[in-house]
DNA sequence: ACCACGGATTAGATGCGTCTAAAGTAAAAG
DNA sequence: CTTTTACTTTAGACGCATCTAATCCGTGGT
């Protein structure tokens, strides 16, 4: 029996591990969750007692296999909910995150199953984030790079965007930068600003480095298995 | 900012007030929620401080207008969820209660609005319980009587059944006793057992008094405004 | 090597929701 | 009118998640 809060910590640690690799620092977790560092230290201690994380004092923390499984379960709930709200309840791309955060801890396995079925067992959510499979094996998101690492002239397909900031999502949606869209990098300013030509209508759009860093892209074409359609 | 737990207490008090009228006793609340009486006393004190209930020590408790509004909001969530799960996620009649209990505290106003829209602003849930309207005015369920109070020969339409016990619901569903069904009382045993002829197929079904007491019925026909269809 | 500084941990407190055990009260029964 | 009984409340404790204030590493600069 894990509390909602513990699930949130595990999800946070998982996400931070994906972004920066383990070990994850106390203050990064605190920052991510909006808690103070002592609070995190105390919570991490409890997670360690339960065998959900490995920890080295003053160093950092890393999920155990068991902890990762819990994180993936929560993430599966979260992303299925995002997909369901978008597809069946007419939510827009940028509205779903908070609702999914609130609900993810409270749905039953039965609910999870029925939502997944209603959606046709999807593999990505509306932001392009992979939905962990029902058996909770870690999804593989290799083959993607950050838009901020690309070069002028690159032709790319948007694969994932961060779902954390609704305002940013609103902006990207407006700009047409959505999972599945093809873009071309037309300019990179010295301070990291990336300019891209978007999709078919040839619009140009400049994105600050902070945003470009959160956008994952893949090479275009080479007939791949799944295709993502924008909201 | 009310906690989930406080919402549960208000919902419980509302329900008990509907069943037995105010005031509601500490031990009834404790029984209903599966808590100990001291726990209830303590919680009721906090609700009183916030102006959600009126209380007379050693007597009992009653919702204020404000407390009733909160209870109706939670009940609206609960019953909309029950209806949605039944209609759109293929849940059966008897499965929805626990899921709705878990989710009712965590959905946003936006979610409530969209679910209500997806259902076409329904007025009753699958068990026949009235769904409070969006403006949270108390629903009126006069004109209904308990099946246990009826007499041999009465022709009746099932209006509501209790949603609390899945096993009982399973049994009633099996028996064909669902909201909207027409029944005729054919026998009443001295210890309260009621026998009814159900619907068109003329099956006879005996119901213990404890069950008959939770079934609400109304007179048939007289062309009424809304009609309820069984799950 | 030393020391200073940034980040991490311990110490100690708070509010919530819960419990058990003990004390109190009200109403029915004698 | 007194006593019993059933129910309610007070007292005191606990675990969780959180905070602030104080202390404690460990590492990079001199």
pLDDT at A199: 77
Of the candidates A20, A38, A62, which is a domain's last residue?
A: A62
In a domain, A58, yes or no: yes
Of the candidates B62, B89, B110, which is a domain's last residue?
A: B62
Q: What nucleotide is nearest B59 when CA is compared to C1'? A: D8
- Contact assignment for B107 to A103 by CB distance below 8 Å: yes
Q: Is the CB of A45 under 7 A from strand D?
A: no
Q: How many contacts (CB atoms, under 8 Å) link A and B? A: 41
User: Which residue range(s) make up the domain with A24?
Assistant: 2-62
- Name the residues in B2-61 having a C-beta closer than 7 Å to nucleic acid strand D: 25-28, 30, 37-38, 40-42, 44-45, 55, 57-58, 60
User: How far, in Å, is the CA of B129 from the C1' of nucleotide D2?
Assistant: 49
What percent of chain A is modeled with pLDDT above 70? Answer: 95
Q: Is the pLDDT of residue A222 over 80?
A: no
> Do the strands B182-188 and B203-207 form a parallel or antiparallel pair, or are they unpaired?
unpaired
Q: Is the CB of A38 under 7 A from strand D?
A: yes
- Chain A residues with beta carbon closer than 8 angstroms to that of B95: 110
In a domain, A203, yes or no: yes
| Rg over CA atoms, chain B | 18
- Chain A residues with beta carbon closer than 8 angstroms to that of B77: none
pLDDT at A228: 47
- Chain B residues with beta carbon closer than 8 angstroms to that of A99: 107-108, 110-111
Q: Show Cβ contacts of residue B15 under 8 Å, excluding neighbours closer than 6 positions.
A: B32
Q: Is the pLDDT of residue A39 over 90?
A: yes
Helices (H) and strands (E) in chain B, counts: 8, 8
pLDDT at A121: 97
The three state secondary structure string of B8-49 is HHHHHHHHHHHHHCCCECHHHHHHHHCCCHHHHHHHHHHHHH
CATH number of the CATH domain containing A186: 2.30.30.90
In a domain, B168, yes or no: yes
Q: Is the pLDDT of residue A134 over 50?
A: yes
Task: Give A78-127 pLDDT, tens digit per residue.
Answer: 999 999 999 999 999 889 999 999 999 999 999 999 999 999 999 999 99
Q: B7, B99, B106: best mutation site toward chain A, by most A Cβ within 10 Å?
A: B106
In a domain, B116, yes or no: no
In a domain, A136, yes or no: no
Task: Give A136-151 pLDDT, tens digit per residue.
Answer: 999 987 888 889 889 8
Q: Is the pLDDT of residue A224 over 70?
A: no
> Alpha helix locations (H) across A65-215?
65-88, 96-103, 109-119, 166-175, 209-212
Q: Tell me how many degrees the CA angle A188-A194-A196 measures, rounded to the nearest 5.
A: 105
A221: buried, middle or exposed (CB in 10 Å: 19+, 13-18, 0-12)?
exposed
CATH number of the CATH domain containing B12: 1.10.10.10
Number of domains chain B is built from? 2
Q: Is the CB of A44 under 7 A from strand D?
A: no
pLDDT at B209: 87
In a domain, B122, yes or no: no
Widest distance between CA atoms in chain B: 55
pLDDT at A220: 84
Q: Is the pLDDT of residue A201 over 90?
A: no
Q: What nucleotide is nearest A58 when CA is compared to C1'? A: C8
Q: Which residue of chain B is at minimal alpha-carbon distance from A88? A: B118
Q: Is the pLDDT of residue A231 over 50?
A: no
pLDDT-based confidence at residue A135 (cuts at 50, 70, 90):
very high
Q: Is the pLDDT of residue A226 over 70?
A: no
Q: What nucleotide is nearest A59 when CA is compared to C1'? A: C8
> Which pair of structure tokens corresponds to residue A226?
């799944």
Of the candidates B47, B62, B77, which is a domain's last residue?
A: B62
In a domain, A86, yes or no: no
Compare CB distances from A111 to B99, B115, B118 and report the shortest one's residue. Answer: B99
A118 touches B: beta carbon within 8 Å:
yes
pLDDT in tens, chain B (231 residues): 899 999 999 999 999 999 899 999 999 999 999 999 999 999 999 999 999 999 999 999 999 999 999 999 999 999 999 999 999 999 998 899 999 999 999 999 999 999 999 999 999 999 999 999 999 999 987 888 889 889 899 999 999 999 888 888 888 888 889 998 999 999 999 888 899 998 777 789 899 988 998 899 999 865 544 444 443
Compare CB distances from A103 to B85, B90, B106 and report the shortest one's residue. Answer: B106
- Chain B residues with beta carbon closer than 8 angstroms to that of A102: 106-108
pLDDT at A94: 87
B118 touches A: beta carbon within 8 Å:
yes
In a domain, B207, yes or no: yes
Q: Show Cβ contacts of residue B113 under 8 Å, excluding neighbours closer than 6 positions.
A: B134
- Contact assignment for A114 to B91 by CB distance below 8 Å: yes
pLDDT at A16: 97
Phi, psi of B85 (to 5 degrees): -60, -40
């Amino acid at each position: 029996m894990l509390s909602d809060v513990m699930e949130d910590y595990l999800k946070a640690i998982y996400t931070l591990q994906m972004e920066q690799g383990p070990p994850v620092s106390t203050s990064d977790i605190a920052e991510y969750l909006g808690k103070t560092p002592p609070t995190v230290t105390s919570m991490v201690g409890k997670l360690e007692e339960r065998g959900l994380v490995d920890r080295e004092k003053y160093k950092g923390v890393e999920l155990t296999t068991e902890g990762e499984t819990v994180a993936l379960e929560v993430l599966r709930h979260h992303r299925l909910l995002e997909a369901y709200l978008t597809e069946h309840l007419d939510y827009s791309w940028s509205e779903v995150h908070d609702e999914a955060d609130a609900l993810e801890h409270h749905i039953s396995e039965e609910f999870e199953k029925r939502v997944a079925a209603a959606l046709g067992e999807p593999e990505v959510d509306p932001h392009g984030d992979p939905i962990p499979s029902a058996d909770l094996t870690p999804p593989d998101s290799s083959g993607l790079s950050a838009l901020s690492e690309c070069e002028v002239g690159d032709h790319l397909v948007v694969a994932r965007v961060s779902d954390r900031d609704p305002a940013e999502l609103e902006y990207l949606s407006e700009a047409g930068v959505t999972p599945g869209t093809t873009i071309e990098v037309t300019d990179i300013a010295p301070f990291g600003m990336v300019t891209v030509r978007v999709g078919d209508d040839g619009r140009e759009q400049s994105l600050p480095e902070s945003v470009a860093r959160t956008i994952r892209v893949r090479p275009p074409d080479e007939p791949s298995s799944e295709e993502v359609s924008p909201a």
